[in-house]
Structure 1
Amino acid sequence: VCNFMSHEKCLKNVKIPCSCIAPSLVRVPVAHCFGPPGHYKRKFCTVCRKSLESPAFRCEVCELHVHTDCILFACSDCRQCHQDGHQDHDTYHHHWREGNLPSGARCEVCKKTCGSSEVLSGMRCEWCGILAHAACYIIVTPECTFGRLRNMILPPSCVQLFSRNFSKLHCFRISENLPTESDEDDDVDGSTQGSAKDVQISTDSSKQTLKIFDGNDAVKRNQFRLISVPRIAKNEEVVEAALRACYINDDQREYELQTFTQQALLCDDVINRNDAAEDSNLCSVFRESVPEAWIIRAKPKDEEVIRIYPAWLKVGMAYVSLRVNKDSTTQTVIKEVLPLLGRQSECLQNFKLVEVLMGSKQVQRMVLDNQELILNRLKDIRKTSIRQMNQTRFYIVENSKSVVQVHLFVGGLPPQLSSEEYTNILKDELAIKTNVVSVSHVYQAQGAVVLEISCFSEAERIYMLVKDTTVNDKPLNAVVIPEVVASKIPQNCCPLLVFVNPKSGGLKGRDLLYSFRKLLNPHQVFELTNGGPLPG
């Protein structure tokens, strides 16, 4: 599935999870911050484990590299750089990332070479930088002390940022319009890039290359995977190849292939070619006249086993398996789960079931209605994308009474005005709601204010609206400001603040920003042209 290679004698020591099960092993889902595609020499894709010969993406916060057509399958396992109200804790464990180590890297445990420029090998903690073999890192003390830079790093437990649906690029003040690394004429569209990479395997005249869509969302976005199969093949063989291309390790008998016409793209009217009277295992789906594009669908089920994760668990990762049927609702699931977690004496109304989609670019959370049928919800997710089903979790969460506070810096306003005048301008230009928005700080000389917002949706609306708003022919700008809890900073810690001007120093600013964000907490790094300190 993921092109992992090992000596036969070394198989017993393999500890690295396959890409198809990696999402289930993520402890705390944290989205990545992908910059523009670029060329990265001697680097390997974390998903398919192949070298990055074409333009690829890298996370601006951690050492994750992926092909453009593999980005959808990457785990949301970036570093947790602040507390956002979800599974917050004060003790941090090593955050291991496999591969892309220098060839001379040495293992902390056995002191032997653990890096390679030929394959994806070795492990690195992205906080303290400790290196180890895949077979050695499991015996390293789990708690991370942030390494040699511990006195300069701002501990994540000291930073609070209730970002919800804000992009990680917004949270870390990373410019969304960074210049590409090189070769600007390269086409980096996900689907076409996948075609260029995989079509080479189907030059054999006895085989046929087909487009596989994993759901309605892939059809709308024209994001497909390519598979190469014999021209005369059985349904089960093609389904197995399609699942492997989507990094799904489920039983192929639970899925089926469907083909669609051009009209189906608009009206969801899908033609199921597997409903023929003859046994599908005996008939072949590929002949000369077979369409080149197919949708892989999950067959409907009368009951399923789902995993429920307790959100109050601070360390480690555990879940409860629960069988649901067509009558199971959110409320009945909560009622059955609480006794299994030792919370049977507590009121059902104090808990809610949250659906979490662990996308590589954004982690989305949605509270399920108490009367929603679970099987129907699973069916809808799989209809949208079977890949998304593999990246979806259900958490049981305690209802908290925490106060929502989002701090938004807004600059570009006329200077030397009063707080009331700035409020009136924002009312006219942004239609702010004064019952949930207040001005907490005013910087008159620079024409800037800090807004304190007690509603997530209002904060998101204002942030997106500021981008397209001008006052006196001057564009406004907005920055999401984290809250630093000074009382939690260790006594011997003096966090370093880094300011980088990307337009000076031989235009190496992007590389400097990337290096500092990787070495420190990204909240310590400021780009002078995007959310840096105010003049004066």
Structure 2
Amino acid sequence: MSDSGCRDRSADLDAPDCLTASPLIGKKRAQQSPGSRPKYQSSAPGGHCLRKVTLTKPTFCHSCSDFIWGLIGFLCEVCNFMCHEKCLKTLRSACSCMTPSLVRVPVAHCFGPAGQKKRFCCVCRKQTEGNTALRCEVCELHVHADCAVFSCADCRSAHVDGTLQQDTFHHHWREGNLPSAARCDVCRRSCGSSDVLAGMRCEWCGVTSHTACYLSVPPECTLGRLRCMLLHPACVRLDSRNFSKMHCYRITESCSHDLDNSDDVEPSAAAACKDFQPAAADAGKQFIKVCDGDDAVKRGFFRLVSISRATRNEEVVEAALRAFYLPDEPQDYELQEVSGVQHLHSDDILNRNGGPDNRSSPKDGGDAWLLRVKPRDAEVIKVHAGGPRPRAASVSVSRSSTAASVLTEALGQLDTREDSSCFSLLEVSMSSKQVQRQTLTPQEKIQDKLQEIRKVSLRQMNQTRFYVVENRKRALQVSLLIGGLSPLLTREEYIQLIQEHLSIKSEPPHTHTHTHTQCKVMGD
């Protein structure tokens, strides 16, 4: 992902062991303008954008799960995270917009119907409702149907790609939806909650902990009570990705066929936005439709952004960034009218009619606006090392930078002494339902690639990574079953017989003889 313009939110994140929760979006609720609202000025851990709020109804803390006594709480404007003031010092839960940067190994989710049991969405932190909720069959991620598009590929890894060796098997932490009787493995206090999304659980060994305590749990996962029954991911190597979920997990896809294609069409989210009617309390507000790229415009998928009648464009852009969970600075973006070429500049103020100087502009139910990145001459991208230990190099790219030049600089920062010709630059798109990998050609311009992705979808750009991978020529393995051989021969006699008839010049690495059927299985 591009790092230019990013806030210093990630400075307090413990990347290797940090939570891999999913991003958030308010259910049928427009994002509100940040103007004139008091914010908590201290640097908030986890990338949260906290502001002090006055509570008007019973509220529970998302960090310690205790009731918030009094009238003051701290609310994240991006992910609806709520906590005590005292819990800010031990805050470990990551904001939704930071989730893609915390993924250790990108693995797509396997969504299916969630059922009717009370759960909380790991994206919007609100209770899931009826048939619109989805559940990952592998890692117990619960999301609303229209929130799934904002989650990323942070499912648990059940296999190891290629010859990658993992020295330590880490926990796979998932926030919230713990049993009511769950107790913290560190402080032995109750850590489950039926009121809010709170607490942490390892999806492998089942150990539970408070959000403030889980970093104190030993980092190596022992797979828990079922250790002798589980096949360790390091023992599984999946070379081909052309398998359906039925082959991999024995999960029928017919019931969730439409859900798997929700990255292509978002009817529920679009309908929620189109059917939304501003409340009477928001009479002094106006609502504009914002798309994050050409793909959203083509499919009619937009987000409603609530703004005041007199709001500067930078504040509108900031509210739009929060609506799409993008942790970037508003001065790096601009709004463009979908049906024309009109731009909103930083000194424009939306008047009562919705636009600067009474020109055509977004109104309630009017034309959509497009959130675009301003042209850049140079920027910084992160290039990750493909290995068990998370490492990344920050590489500055310009218009002349190619994949080969970025690869060379990244290898130098990662202290890799091998020749750059042995490596390639890999683009990885970490969508929640599909992880796509594409090897870039050495001559490909990196900035052109970034602009292409951003033009399609800013959300997709936020979920895109670049990796340094080693070029490997894997030998083709073929198994042969040969029948009709003479019975009761020794292994050496069978090998000699096969060499004579098939002209094999070297001994096969593995053979197994079925004496009763006079058949021989060979692996090469």
Normalised by the length of structure 1, the TM-score is 0.68
How many residue pairs end up in the alignment?
392
2:127 to 51, 56, 61: 51
Q: Deviations over 1:224-265 (max 9, x none)?
A: 22222224432112111111010112001111111122xxxx
Q: 1:392 to 1:90 in 2, by over 3 A?
A: same
Aligned counterpart for 1:384 among listed residues 442, 445, 456: 456
Match of 2:371 among 274, 281, 296: 296
With normalisation by structure 2, the TM-score equals 0.69
Aligned twin of 1:219: 297
Q: Which residue of 2 aligns with 1:239?
A: 317
Looking at structure 2, the residues matched to 86 and 225 of structure 1 have their Cα atoms a distance apart, in angstroms, of 43
Q: Cα distance, 1:191 vs. partner? A: 2.2
Q: Which runs of 5+ in 1 are unaligned?
A: 181-186, 262-270, 408-417, 419-451, 455-536
Gaps of 5+ in 2: 1-77, 258-264, 485-522
Asked whether 1:150 is paired with 2:223, we answer: no
CA shift, 1:406, in A, is: 10
CA distance in 2, matches of 1:97, 1:28: 15
Structure 1 residue 48 displacement after superposition: 1.4
**Alignment correspondent of 2:354:** 286
Quote the residue 1:173 is aligned against: 250
Q: Does 1:368 align with 2:440?
A: yes
Structure 1's 199 and 91: CA in aligned 2 closer, same or farther, altered over 3 A?
farther
Native 8 Å contact 1:33 1:169 kept in 2: no
Query: 5 Å matches for 1:131-530?
Result: 131-164=208-241, 166-168=243-245, 170-178=247-255, 189-192=267-270, 194-195=272-273, 199=277, 204-261=282-339, 271-274=340-343, 280-282=347-349, 286-287=354-355, 290=362, 291-311=366-386, 313-315=387-389, 317-343=390-416, 345-403=417-475
Q: CA deviation at 1:178?
A: 2.6
Q: Deviations over 1:140-186 (max 9, x none)?
A: 11111110111111212222222335454553232111389xxxxxx
**Are residues 86 and 20 of structure 1, via their aligned partners in 2, closer, same or farther at CA, if it must alter by over 3 Å?**
farther
Residues in 2 aligned to 1:400 and 1:201: alpha-carbon distance in whole angstroms? 59
Cα distance in 2 for partners of 1:406, 1:360 equals 34
Q: What residue is the counterpart of 1:498 in the other structure?
A: none
1:200-244 Cα distance to aligned partner (Å, 9 max, x none): 668622222222211111122222222222244321121111110
Aligned to 2:508: none
Cα contact 2:310–2:349 (8 A) shared by 1: no
State how far apart, in whole Å, the 1-side matches of 2:437 and 2:237 are.
Answer: 18
Pick closer, same or farther for the CA change 1:141–1:406 going to 2, 3 Å: farther
Q: Is the 8 A contact 1:84 1:160 kept in 2?
A: yes
State the SS of the aligned residue for 1:355. Answer: strand
Deviation at 1:370, TM superposition (A): 0.5
Name the CA shift for 1:70/1:167 in 2 (closer, same or farther; >3 Å): farther
Whole-angstrom distance in 1 between the partners of 2:240 and 2:146: 28
| Equivalent position amino acid for 2:423 in 1 | F
Q: Is the 8 A contact 2:403 2:445 kept in 1?
A: yes
Give me the whole-angstrom Cα distance separating, in 2, the residues matched to 1:188 and 1:321: 34
What secondary structure sits across from 1:160 in the alignment?
Answer: coil
1:85 deviates by: 2.4
2: distance between equivalents of 1:152 and 1:139? 27
- Alignment partner of 2:432: what SS? coil
Q: 1:73 to 1:86 in 2, by over 3 A?
A: farther
Partner of 2:118: 42
Offset, 1:325: 0.7
- Secondary structure of the equivalent of 2:83? coil
Cα RMSD (Å): 3.0
The one-letter amino acid of 2:460's match is Q
Q: Matched residue of 1:20: which SS?
A: helix
Contact 1:308–1:320 (Cα < 8 Å) also in 2: yes
